Amino acid sequence: MELINVLNLEDLDEISMSYDKFCQQNMQTMKFQDLNHELREKIWNGLFTQLSSDKYLKIHDKCLQVLRILSRDKKDLDVIISDERLNIIIEKADLAEAVPPPYTNVTVEALKLLCNLIYNSPGVQIQITKTKCLKNLVTRISYYNETVSNSIMLFDMRILFLITALNIPSRYICKNDCNGDKILIDCLNNLFDRLKDSKELVEIICELFKALFNLNIDADDSTEDQKKINRQLVSTLYKFLTADHVQALDSEELKSHIINLLTVVPISCYDSLVPEVSSDEQKKSKEIYQGLDMSAVWELLKFLDKRLDSPKNLVENTSPAVTTLLKLASSNSRIRKYTRQKVLPPLEDVMTRPEEGTTLKAKLCKLLTFPIMELRDIVAEFLFVLCKHNVGRMIKYTGYGNAAGMFANKGLLGGGQPDTDFSSESEESDTEEYVKYRESINPITGCYEEPKPNPLEGMTEEQKEYEAMKLVNLMDQLTGDGILKPCTIGADGKPKPIEHVLELQKGLDHKFKKNNSDSE
């Protein structure tokens, strides 16, 4: 490789040009197959020799650029990056001490190199927490002002995210030893104000949200101090969701990271997302419900509605939003009632199935039979919470066929009701159209159906019995071939496979006797 020959040059300008040429030629290169271990070590050693000498101070940024490109290749990184070499990089990144601004281009290039090394080397992921890098990085974030470049902030945040994502103990160090969550929230509030004049800050803020997500994965509210920090975080997220200058950005990525972060915030702090409003403030906001500002909830619902229109990565793109809305609806009755109005408004169109159409309700009902359980179950639980865990109400809005899977999982196929913490007050407000067609609505499909003639009308009892036995024999054959497995409803309200199809007759006999006794 030509790079090995460059290390023997003396002229700094010539070395600089050669490094620029190497970087240009390898802009997209991820692996260096022509490097064996010996040659790889020689090149890294030569570059670190230059990086450690003031003689080459003029080209230190070029050395770091070359190292950054070489560090894309994971091979031998754990062996090559010794403690000494890692400390040199940390020093060049101005993280050996808590250095206040200004910073240089060397700082930026060293940070880029650190990002690659942390991502590609499990050894570095462990080594770096044994240095002062993390503590000094958090301290530097607290120094941020308008003189700090976007590049420095971006790669600082990216390093913080990578360390806390790939080294779990570092989360405790950052949060408890360095007050990292408090410092990041303060930084977030500062960037919120600056976002009005600099849209380029969005990428930095997204990285900050990702770092906060890592710090809050195991968040609790066991102490008053932690409760205060959590509420401060949620209040800040409320600002980002509702502020006009942030809305104007129309950034899907920004909202997505806010929602991801909300999934790990303790539910007890969600009230900060729906602040109480005075009578004067109510005139300024469009989304007021029972004295609460529901603007943030409305933004979450619009985000979910938009995401459901795209089938690509549906689980990844929609599960966090549904999870957050479920937590919100479970946390406060006023939020639940508001959300129900938006998602499950009083039925007016009873002529189409619940899963048909372009409404948010239709899109969610369609997911009740989605093949991937992770998303299907969380959507079902969300709708069930909006229905106050009332089986009849769930059937009314979604149709029994759509909700049957959830009822089976919860042991509600027998028609029982789960124990709930919801109030008993009624929230029904049937429309005239629903009342008019109620008797003709098929509970299985959840929509109106024209009355159908009785297929057994005109048959003698012998003919009915003959047709019933044909059905039994057909089901027996399908069961024997393993095509279907008939079930009855067990005492726990869940499906229970039967050993023989004639077991179904017991249930029919019981129902027949019950119907006869009812008619007497």
pLDDT by residue for the chain (520 residues), tens only, comes to: 578 889 888 899 999 999 999 999 999 999 999 899 999 999 999 999 999 999 999 999 999 999 999 999 999 999 999 999 999 999 999 999 988 899 999 999 999 999 999 999 999 999 999 999 999 999 999 999 989 999 999 999 999 999 999 999 999 999 999 999 999 999 999 999 899 878 889 999 999 999 999 999 987 888 889 999 999 999 999 999 999 999 888 889 999 999 999 999 999 999 999 999 877 766 666 789 999 999 999 999 999 999 999 888 899 999 999 999 999 999 999 999 999 999 999 888 888 889 999 999 999 999 999 999 999 999 999 999 999 999 989 988 899 888 888 888 888 776 566 656 665 565 666 777 777 777 777 888 888 787 778 888 888 989 989 988 898 888 788 877 877 777 777 777 777 777 765 666 655 455 444 444 443 3
Distance CA 64, CA 342 (A): 54
Q: How many angstroms separate the CA atoms of 479 and 485, rounded?
A: 6
Alpha-carbon distance of 249 to 197, in angstroms, equals: 11
CA angle 101, 105, 111 (to 5 degrees): 85
Q: How many helices (H) and strands (E) does the chain have?
A: 27, 6
Give the pLDDT score at 420.
60
Amino acid at 196: K
Give the gyration radius of the chain's Cα atoms: 32
Residue 414 main-chain phi, psi, to 5 deg:
-80, 0
**Residue 311 has what pLDDT?**
81
The pLDDT, as a whole number, for residue 507 is 52
What is the C-alpha to C-alpha distance for residues 400 and 18, in angstroms, rounded to an integer? Answer: 71
Q: Give the whole-angstrom CA distance, residue 427 versus residue 150.
A: 51
Answer for the pair 194, 145: CB distance below 8 angstroms, yes or no.
no
Which of helix, strand or coil describes residue 377? helix
Output the CA torsion sign for 208, 214, 217, 218.
Answer: negative
pLDDT of residue 421: 62
